[in-house]
Amino acid sequence: MEDLQKVVQGIRPLNKDYLTQAQIRLDNLTKPVGSLGKLEDIARRYASIKEDLNPSINNKVIFTFAGDHGVVDKHVSAYPRSVTVQMVLNILAGGAAVNVLARHVGARVVVVDMGVDYDFEPVEGFVIRKIGYGTRDFTEGPAMSYDNAVRSIKTGIDLADEYADKGVDMIGTGEMGIGNTTPSSAIQSVLTGLAPAEVAGRGTGINDETLRNKIDVIETALAVNRPNPDDPIDVLAKVGGFEIGGIAGLIIGGAYRRIPVIVDGFISTAGALIAVAMNPAINEYIFYSHLSSEAGHRKMLEKLKQEPILQLDMRLGEGTGGAIAMTVIEAAIKIMAQMATFESAGVDKASI
Amino acid sequence: MEDLQKVVQGIRPLNKDYLTQAQIRLDNLTKPVGSLGKLEDIARRYASIKEDLNPSINNKVIFTFAGDHGVVDKHVSAYPRSVTVQMVLNILAGGAAVNVLARHVGARVVVVDMGVDYDFEPVEGFVIRKIGYGTRDFTEGPAMSYDNAVRSIKTGIDLADEYADKGVDMIGTGEMGIGNTTPSSAIQSVLTGLAPAEVAGRGTGINDETLRNKIDVIETALAVNRPNPDDPIDVLAKVGGFEIGGIAGLIIGGAYRRIPVIVDGFISTAGALIAVAMNPAINEYIFYSHLSSEAGHRKMLEKLKQEPILQLDMRLGEGTGGAIAMTVIEAAIKIMAQMATFESAGVDKASI
């Protein structure tokens, strides 16, 4: 716990000098000032995170954290619990959406078993860091112990650290866990003060009746557990999930090592809410990849005061939105690195 | 002219069977139904255009049409006319934004001189199809003759045809022409019935005074020329530009050859307005790459009843937004082609 706080408190706000220097560079390129919009915002902030005006992007990894959820027994999802295992195997075999999109953008997918209710055979590229066989049903008590919440976060930090040492220069978050929009909505409710009915959505595609039940379940969980909004680890322990803790940790670890973290959709942003609640400076190291069509996501991003890069009406998770955003971010970096300047190209500047 | 009408009228609405077949295929992939949002819309329509449920994308070309505009003498732009030539040379040298982004997504850039006020040396990859040395100032009469409007459109059609024969399977539009938001806004005003003040914007970054002047200039042009809103070629001739005609033609030619056309921003969409006015079925062959931050663009897309793929606050032109959209479209196609099905992966379907 002491180590965790040391890492969290060790993350500093971005050095504004790099933002300024990157802007000067962008303004000298052969284009009207500001005409590349969000690409320029991305390039500027990316350079500031790396403290490098010409950062290279050679090694991109998407971490797909998997975990099961006891609350699935309360019928909150359109899919049976068994699908978590099946989809982990599908991702390991390269057949899931995140695999296709990661290959397209030149990223690797690393699957992390944080707490799936199954004993997997070890295979290459699969990281088993199981904290339990699924969380407990949090309508009847905490999802996990406080110690296990800390462990799940530390697991994410350690992974960021390990892959930073391996030369990874961009990290994406992702997840697979049937039922995990329910803990994500619960986390959002506690950390934003919004009622469960304002933030809960249809997840993988539940009907009206199941949605009403899901809201009831979250309300019960909050009443039973009374998570402390001033202690994000307590929130994670009481109404979270192992994979959400892993995501929060990966974000913290990425920020600590100055690696830009590309946060995927709704569940990943719940992880970001926990990380940013621990130290607001962490938010500056995060790029929010896309606006999910899951109902509560827009309000999460409003709370975090950040704009998503893409709006593709996606709601799949796994890291799929993050994968596509990675190639947009890479485009922005190349703009800063490769475009001609007004001087080098002999182009006149604006006359008014 | 007879040939042109034959091509235009030869373009048929999409075969809805392919939309249905593509949807069935997408719904069998290991993901909740509809959870990839716009990627699924893109894949479905792309397959319908190609009449192929597993289309390949191996050969992507962005055509950057260049032309000068007599109306620049009326001080409508932030940049001097000389910048058209300078930027054409910059693109040919590979230093412009469109070059960087095209390289990033694996597309080629083909620059087409439709009417720049300069005699370029021929170089490889540069297509010289000059129709004039810039349009006439359309506050004093038509920008070009009716015959030259037809010629500019035919030039675009011929290019699409030539590159279709070369095996190009995705085409992007782009342009370079100092002053060309002014004719684009004029075209929009005529074809949508909106007043110039409602559609004119700041282009490359003009100030309030220049914007007021730009609106005056467009109002004068419309009063002097009285373009016929029922004849898109008359509109192009009176208040258009050579490069805008080339774009309209490229779109028509792409649709005729069943090649998806990725339309860039504001000026390219003005070309699309002309093409679609000639035959509404053409609109089904177009992907609108992004929402430009140029003021009138949103209303253009509303008129065309299509959603942009990206919203990155870009306003650069050249084909830059189209380049980034190309890689998103390619991602969508790969999703359809490469993902596992529920059956092949042994994943359970939704239970409710």
One-character DSSP codes across B297-334: HHHHHHHHT---SB-------TTHHHHHHHHHHHHHHH
Collect all residues of chain A within an 8 Å Cβ-Cβ radius of residue B327. Answer: 104-105, 327
Answer whether A339 sits within 8 Å of B89, measured CB to CB.
no
pLDDT in tens, A205-248: 999 999 999 999 999 999 999 999 999 999 999 999 999 999 99
Collect all residues of chain B within an 8 Å Cβ-Cβ radius of residue A315. Answer: 32, 35, 37
Domains of chain B: 4-55+335-345 (1.10.1610.10), 60-328 (3.40.50.10210)
Question: Which pLDDT score, from 0 to 100, does residue B28 have?
Answer: 97
Nearest CA in chain B to A86: B347
- Predicted confidence (pLDDT) at residue A124 exceeds the cutoff of 80: yes
Answer whether B205 sits within 8 Å of A350, measured CB to CB.
yes
Q: What three-state secondary structure class fits A63?
A: strand
What is the pLDDT confidence band of residue B352, given thresholds at 50, 70 and 90?
Answer: low
- Predicted confidence (pLDDT) at residue B1 exceeds the cutoff of 60: no
Question: Which pLDDT score, from 0 to 100, does residue B200 have?
Answer: 96
pTM equals: 0.97
Range A78-89 average pLDDT: 96
pLDDT in tens, A259-278: 999 999 999 999 999 999 99
Question: Which pLDDT score, from 0 to 100, does residue B2 have?
Answer: 60
Tokens of A63: 């971490």
Tokens of A25: 């560079």
Distance of CA A63 to the CA centre of its chain: 9
- Predicted confidence (pLDDT) at residue A2 exceeds the cutoff of 70: no
What is the pLDDT confidence band of residue A35, given thresholds at 50, 70 and 90?
Answer: very high
- Predicted confidence (pLDDT) at residue A352 exceeds the cutoff of 70: no
pLDDT in tens, B268-281: 999 999 999 999 99
Collect all residues of chain B within an 8 Å Cβ-Cβ radius of residue A79. Answer: 32, 348, 350-351
Q: Measure CB to CB from residue B95 to each of A83, A320, A340 and give the nearest one.
A: A340
> Locate tokens 């959209």: which residue?
B325
Contact A173, A260 (CB under 8 A): no
Distant-in-sequence, close-in-space partners of A207: CB < 8 Å, separation ≥ 6? B352
Mean pLDDT of chain B, nearest integer: 97
Question: Which pLDDT score, from 0 to 100, does residue B124 have?
Answer: 87
- Predicted confidence (pLDDT) at residue B237 exceeds the cutoff of 60: yes
- Predicted confidence (pLDDT) at residue B239 exceeds the cutoff of 70: yes
Q: What three-state secondary structure class fits B127?
A: strand
Find the Cα–Cα–Cα–Cα dihedral B183, B188, B189, B190, rounded to 10°. Answer: 90
The span from the CA of A278 to the CA of A274, in Å, is: 6
- Predicted confidence (pLDDT) at residue A41 exceeds the cutoff of 80: yes
Give yes or no: A51 in active site.
no
- The shortest C-alpha distance from A203 to chain B (Å) reads 9
> Would you tell me how many other CB atoms lie within 10 Å of the CB of residue B241?
36
Q: Measure CB to CB from residue B104 to each of A313, A331, A346 and give the nearest one.
A: A331
Distances, alpha carbon B88 to alpha carbons A34, B4, B174, B176, B329, in Å: 20, 28, 12, 7, 27
